[in-house]
Structure 1
Amino acid sequence: MGRATAADGVLEVPAIDISAWTTGTEADRTAISAAVDEAARTVGFMQIRGHGIPESTATAFADALDGFFGLPMEEKKQLRSPSPEINRGYTPPRTEKLSLSLGVPATVEDLFEAFNVGSEATSFPELDLPETHYPANLWPSVPGFREAVGEWCMQAGGLAERLLEIFANALGLTDGYFTPFTDHSLDVLRMNHYMLPEGELAIDRDQMGMGAHTDYGIVTVLWADRVSGLQILDTHGDWHDVLPEPGCLLVNLGDLLARWTNDRWLSTMHRVLPPTDSRGRVVRRRSAAYFHDGNWDAEINCLPGCVPAGAEPLYPPTTVSRHLAEKLAGSRAGKLNENSPREAARLRAAKNG
């Protein structure tokens, strides 16, 4: 992880059109795979064009977010998860510290509020899945919310599956290689909202919108407003702003894919600064990260061909559920994760916070 580099202080996030993946020629597929491999090796983020998600779906989804986050705080708090281990429901502002997922303490809690939905055991009736890993969702009584969010999950999940087909091709693996690891994937959609709570006028000096972290799973599909705040870290310890181009979705790789590839592909550190206007006032920013994290019981070992001859893998084997539990115990339960020393070292070496 961490080989993302910048030229003249600007970190380029490649834009890749994948529309020809299913309908184009073999040469088209080869070109898409090569572009994805280059972005995965050098940046860990990419912008995806030709994803096929209708603009009307995105508009309805954004309206649904506005409907939920516009509810009174006490009404939103009624949808809080019963425990930090259950990654569902509402998270009020200043209740999480994402940097703890890396084992790095934070001075203050992160500013964002969030609402999570995800894969349920009932979605896989043919399997006896543990509800601790596949809990039931909590739904607000906002008209159209469940339908719009469900449609977005279906579309973003389909894109994540298509990306894994491209990833297998780019890594020289057989078609469908990742399917046994993801056919009952622990997918979570986290909808985020950045805004000062009513009555507050200023932010703390050390306040983060969302603290520095790497994503935990395999791949993330990110929808976001074109409002500044998102930054990613390069190899030299410098932070760089990222704004999605119109019509693109940001995609970044998670820790499990970096472990699988022995850091050939990057799980890039990123954070969100409190979004502000020219006068330093916090402005609204919305985002939604669809995490495609893999089956709870899938074991993650280094992929064939990713360890040089005579060398040992950089990471020990782990399971999806074990890795996610360690990460979530940091961000949601406030416990330092002691099993991310490589990621923690990168954050401690970063410049300007």
Structure 2
Amino acid sequence: MTRSGETDALRATGVPLIDLRRWRSGDERTRAELAGELDRALCESGFLLLDGHGIGSEPREQVRAAARRFFALPATAKAAYATPVGGRGWLPPGQEANAFYGEQADPDRADLKESYTLGRNFSIGDPGQDALWFAPNVWPAEVPELAARCDEYADAVRRVYAELLEVCAVALGLAPDWFVRRAGRSPHTFNINRYPPRRETGTPRDGQFRIAPHTDWGMITILDRQVGYGGLQIQARDGSWLDAPHVDGCFTINIGDLMARWTGDRWRSTRHRVLPPPAESPGEELISLIMFLEADVDTLVAPLEPPVGPRQDYPPVRWGDYLLERAGAANVS
């Protein structure tokens, strides 16, 4: 969807477009207005589109071009870089089966995708924790340019993330650096997802998707996606599924379960899915760049007190423990 057609589609889904340039250059009143718009978006749909983030199309397309070279390698070559969910390297087709939290993933209907998954280049100085959360990335020798392009992109997205955390804090009436101070030593997961065409996957099984209905796990997801017949859908409050809006150059932003829990369900961690490869376009192949951004893994999450957090019955949970539980549930072994 181009900007000329954005208004009706954005209104239909309840997903607004927010321009981060208003935060960067605005006075206190403008910033408060922007934070209010973000608050309403995360209360109502859990999603928003982000413009003005400052990351141009070139670094995103450079990552895609390098990733395509890797995905085009024979499976025998890619197997040298294979990893389970939560690791570093190649997640082969059939390796991951997403599901809504509390529901059982079906390994016989594994997600119709393959991924290259990366983490943050960082160290907290604890060998055990570094090995678990900041393991070295694995780079394919066949595509030497992938490392630099991914590192450049991930660093740029983390800068946007820090700004979004400031907006989130102001939206909740907290000090602007409240979340930033709890995320400086955080890991992230950077997934490059390839959604193969139907002529490669064959006809999906009943109830099988490119990514099955699920919620994200952590703080904030920053997604750069391509649109197609088999694209992203968001579940509305009434249970219906709506095509997620797309505006050229804008990121799709949503929050995860732990951020929703932190706000006492003031903000929604919304179920979403990626449709199966379509019969209407059997050659459709899409590549998404997905950054799952987190808080520090030792952060203890308990609902913020009223009036911020309407729900107070969630027991405290350690950030890293929750992530490990969810990764284990999604892994097809």
* TM-score, length of structure 2 as denominator length: 0.89
* Structure 1 counterpart of 2:50, one-letter code: I
In structure 2, what is the equivalent of residue 218 of structure 1?
A: 219
The aligned residue for residue 319 of structure 1 is 318
Report what 1:92 is aligned to: 92
Aligned twin of 1:208: 209
Which of 36, 42, 45 is 1:34 aligned to?
A: 36
Match of 2:327 in 1: 328
Cα displacement string for residues 200-224 of structure 1 (whole angstroms, at most 9, x for unaligned residues): 5433233211111110000000010
Unaligned runs of at least 5 residues, structure 2:
1-7
Q: What does 1:179-194 correspond to in 2, within 5 Å?
A: 179-194=180-195
Matches within 5 A, 1:1-353: 10-81=12-83, 84=85, 86-99=86-99, 101-106=101-106, 108-120=109-121, 123-124=122-123, 126=125, 129-141=129-141, 142-196=143-197, 200-228=201-229, 229-276=231-278, 278=280, 281=282, 283-305=284-306, 306-308=308-310, 313-333=312-332
Deviation at 1:127, TM superposition (A): 5.5
| Larger mean Cα displacement after TM superposition, 219-228 or 103-112 | 103-112
Change (3 A) 1:72 1:243: farther
- 1:126, 1:265 → 2: CA distance? 34
| SS of residue matched to 2:109 | coil
2: CA distance between counterparts of 1:45 and 1:53?
A: 19
Distance 1:166 1:12, change over 3 A: same
Q: Please report the TM-score for the alignment, with normalisation by the length of structure 1.
A: 0.84
Contact 2:13-2:245 within 8 A present in 1 as well: no
> CA, structure 1 residues 201+332, in 2 after alignment: closer, same or farther (shift >3 Å)?
closer
CA distances 1:283-335 after superposition (whole Å, capped 9, x unpaired): 20111110111111111111233345xxx61421101111101111111156x
Distance change >3 Å, CA 51–CA 188, structure 1 → 2: same
1:76 and 1:68 map into 2 onto residues whose CA distance is: 8
Please name the residue that 1:3 is paired with: none
CA distance in 1, matches of 2:197, 2:79: 16
Measured in 2, the distance between the counterparts of 1:71 and 1:315 equals 46
Secondary structure at the residue paired with 1:117?
A: strand
Letter in 2 for 1:313: Q
Unpaired segments ≥5 residues, structure 1: 1-5, 335-353
Q: Does the Cα contact within 8 Å between 2:198 and 2:282 map onto a contact in 1?
A: no
Task: Return the offset for 1:57.
Answer: 1.4
Give the partner amino acid of 2:90: Y
One-letter code aligned to 1:317: P
Residue in structure 2 matched with residue 348 of structure 1 by the alignment:
none
Please list every run of at least 4 consecutive aligned residues from structure 1 whose deviation after the TM superposition is greater than 4 angstroms: 125-128, 196-200
Cα distance in 1 between the residues matched to 2:139 and 2:292: 19
| Per-residue deviation, 1:97 | 1.0
Amino acid at match of 2:38: V
2:5 matched residue in structure 1:
none
Which structure shows the bigger proportion of residues in helix conformation? 2
Q: Which amino acid aligns with 1:147?
A: A
Aligned AA (2:87): N
Partner SS state of residue 293, structure 2: strand
Decide whether aligned partners of structure 1 residues 201 and 269 sit closer, same or farther in structure 2, where only a CA change above 3 A counts.
closer
Query: 2:240 and 2:302 mapped to 1: Cα distance?
Result: 31
The percentage of counterpart residues that share the same residue type is: 30
Shift of 1:73: 1.4
| Cα distance in 1, alignment partners of residues 200 and 304 from structure 2 | 52
Compare 146-155 and 132-141 and name the one that shifted more: 132-141
Say what the alpha-carbon RMSD is for the aligned residues. 2.3
Partner of 1:346: none
Q: How many residues align?
A: 321
SS in 2 for 1:290: strand
1:196 CA displacement: 4.5
Distance 1:59 1:199 in 2: 23
The 8 Å contact of residues 231 and 271 in structure 1, kept in 2 or not, is answered as: yes
After alignment, is 229-238 or 23-32 more displaced?
A: 23-32
Alpha-carbon distance between aligned partners in 2 of 1:75 and 1:103, rounded to the nearest angstrom: 34
The 1-side partners of 2:72 and 2:132 are apart by: 30
- The answer to which of 211-220 and 325-334 deviates more is 325-334
Any conservation in 2 of the 1:220–1:254 contact (CA below 8 Å)? yes
Aligned letter for 2:135? P
**Shift of the alpha carbon at 1:124?**
2.5
